[in-house]
Amino acid sequence: MKFVFLFLLLPLTARAYTLNNSIGARFDNENVNVRVGLNPTPCDNVDLDEVASLLNEAMDDFWNTVSTSRLQLKTSGSENTGDDNYWTGELCLTGGSCGGTPVPATSDIIVTCNKNTTNFPGASSLLALTLPNVISGKDIKGAVVLINDTNGSFGDLTRNQKIAVLAHEVGHAIGLGHSQESSALMYFKIVPTRTTLARDDRLGVTYLYPVQMDLFGAGCFLGTIKTLGDGGGTNSFWPTALAGLLLSLLLKRPKKESAASSPA
Ligand SMILES: [Zn+2]
């Protein structure tokens, strides 16, 4: 029984990730396009051509590496937005109240620059700001990543730091909030030297986008996490506990029972 309880208790301390909103919204499509939006007026301080060239690595070195997540982020270079409001607008939830001209609604994920001081007040140290700004029910339809164009902070980063910052912001765009885990890419303080995801990041993206496993695989409960966890938003305890219980029962074969039950 101790063996079983160990599995049940592990999920209580095993995760620190949070979700980006109280409803636990996520993209309903497992293939999400990430593109750079070129404004009619060029950014003052951000090189969007460079950003477009870095996005591939930001996706493939981080979020596309998680085998337990069905999410695949595709990059498609840059495109003209045809709208300077991406550059000058205020970032608001579409359909919500907005003090100024809003950043336009979009589909999938668009990355661009923004110089609105409501988004980046004063001499803001924020490198970027992200919001899934088009949400229908519990589905994210579109998200915007705005790189701070009020100063040159982003441009002063090294290449790898820029990649880590872009990956962190896309983490918000796909529905993740900040993590308390200091090793995580989604740690609440941006640490732009990350080169890979931490376990907590992988748990978070797997919670939002669980891969559908075969019935007899050890992770077969992963496919039901979405349903079981929806009520609490950030609640992943019971589906994870159930998976732990299943695993413990599978592993607790009669001939190994004495070894499994003995004090460690
Ligand atoms: Zn963040």
Residue pLDDT, tens place only, 164-222: 999 999 999 999 999 999 999 999 886 767 899 999 999 999 999 999 765 554 433 33
56 Cα–ligand 1 center, Å: 20
146 Cα–ligand 1 center, Å: 12
Asked, for residue 97, whether it belongs to a domain, the answer is yes
Q: Give the chain's domain count.
A: 1
Asked, for residue 230, whether it belongs to a domain, the answer is no
pLDDT digits (tens, 9 = 90+) for 120-153: 998 778 999 999 999 999 999 999 999 999 999 9
CATH of the domain at 186: 3.40.390.10
DSSP letter (8 states) at residue 34: E
Higher pLDDT, 225 or 108: 108
Mean pLDDT value of segment 59-84: 96
- Residue numbers of the domain that contains 43: 13-208
179 Cα–ligand 1 center, Å: 9
73 Cα–ligand 1 center, Å: 18
pLDDT digits (tens, 9 = 90+) for 211-252: 976 555 443 333 222 222 222 333 333 333 333 343 444 434
168 Cα–ligand 1 center, Å: 6
What is the per-residue pLDDT for 23?
84
124 Cα–ligand 1 center, Å: 14
Asked, for residue 245, whether it belongs to a domain, the answer is no
State residue 195 phi and psi, 5-degree precision.
-120, -5
Distances (CA, A) of 226 to 36, 212, 230: 30, 11, 6
148 Cα–ligand 1 center, Å: 13
Percent helix, strand, coil in the chain, to 5, is: 35, 20, 45
Asked, for residue 28, whether it belongs to a domain, the answer is yes
